Chains A and B, each alone.
Chain A
Amino acid sequence: MWRPDKIWSCFLPSLALVLGLLPACAHKDYWPPDLGTSADLQSILAKSLEGNLREIPFDPAGKRVDLQVRAWGTFQNALGLEGYVRSLLREWIVSRGGEVGSGQFQMAVFLPVLGHTAVRRDLSYQYTPIYYSERFRATARMIVVIKDAGGKTVEVWQKGEGADVAEIFLMRIFGPFDIPTKK
């Protein structure tokens, strides 16, 4: 037969045990899965590179150009970026009637800057989010050195072309709305 004093004497240690265990926490530690390089970032980098190309003051029509690209920058290694820019320039040269290969001219393209910055803006009133925006800005600086077959520098040209993408959200639910940005 259970006596009240016996129940009491069991109840108190059990309660203490339960209370002691309540704040315990088992947690398997993982980083959330990643998403790779964002589409926005790739898009603004591609746009800024294409923007730079438009103004190279060299007419490759009828010329054979030896193309060299050197870059470092935003990615873990520069091989991909160099390949991408080489492909862009190859298209640029061939579409204007030139040829790519060793010969008359040497075109050395340097990309000392190809990167981006991101700015986040938040406006809230007493913990109620009203406005939130994200702005990506890519910066690409391109230096093109053109030499003739004798190694004499014919042209040095540089350009820093950026590209912007910005989005705003209202009340953290409506949006994204594009913000007009400088082209």
Chain B
Amino acid sequence: MKRKRRIHHFGGWAAVIILIIILAPACATKRYWGPTMGRSADSQFTPADALEKALKSASFDRFRGRTVWIDVFSLTERTGEESAEERFLRSWLAEKLLSQGARIAPAKNQAEVILDVKARVFGVNQTRRDFIPLLYMEITQALVDLHLNSYERESGKILHAEDLKGEVRYREYYIFYMIGPIRSVK
């Protein structure tokens, strides 16, 4: 009688343990993509520096005293009419022109000169290098390749054309995948 009760007791425990073992690998997961972190800081400061390098050699003195309208075109992604890169480039160039004595037209039809800027490239490439287990490196290479054309608005004639290029490389090293980052900007 006692033995029968013990077997019954053991059987109950075994059933519980089997149930736990079956349920243990189960997994409920609510599916979410995590919120985005936006555009990385590395991919913002490197093109901005590359743009500054590209514009270093440029002189907008020829626009001194003239009213200029800036059009910027690029092959970057957008949701509206103008991409973030184009808006940034247009504002940056407007500041450069103003600082060199040009005036920015409030509307295209009020401009004397139309500065047409094609950004063939305004972006970054990202390269990762691994030399396991000694070294890990991330390289952000920003490239700016602009083609500038200035047109006389009235006649539509090209007044001047030039290409401006700039490049910045930002490296981060991690030694033994632990020590770092050791940074360098060129």
Q: State how many residues of chain B have any CB contact under 8 Å with chain A.
A: 52
State A69–B118 Cα separation when bound (angstroms): 16
Q: How far does the Cβ of B32 sit from chain A's closest Cβ, in whole Å? A: 7
Say which residue of A36, A81, A169 sits within 8 Å of B39 (CB atoms): A36
* Chain B: CB-nearest residue to A91: B149
Q: In B110-154, which residues have CB < 8 Å from any A CB?
A: 116, 118-127, 129-131, 135, 140-143, 145, 149, 151
Name the segment of B7-15, B81-89, B100-108 touching the other chain.
Answer: B81-89
Chain A positions within 8 Å of B141 at CB level: 39
> Once the chains bind, are B123 and A39 in contact (CB under 8 Å)?
yes
Chain A positions within 8 Å of B129 at CB level: 169, 172-173
* Chain B: CB-nearest residue to A27: B34
* Chain B: CB-nearest residue to A79: B81
* Chain B: CB-nearest residue to A30: B34
Residues of A within 8 A of B (CB): 28-43, 45-47, 75-77, 79-81, 83-84, 86-88, 90-91, 94-95, 99-101, 169, 171-173, 176
Ordered nearest first, which 10 A-B pairs have the shortest CB separation? A33-B40, A29-B34, A46-B120, A39-B143, A84-B73, A33-B37, A39-B123, A35-B43, A173-B131, A30-B34
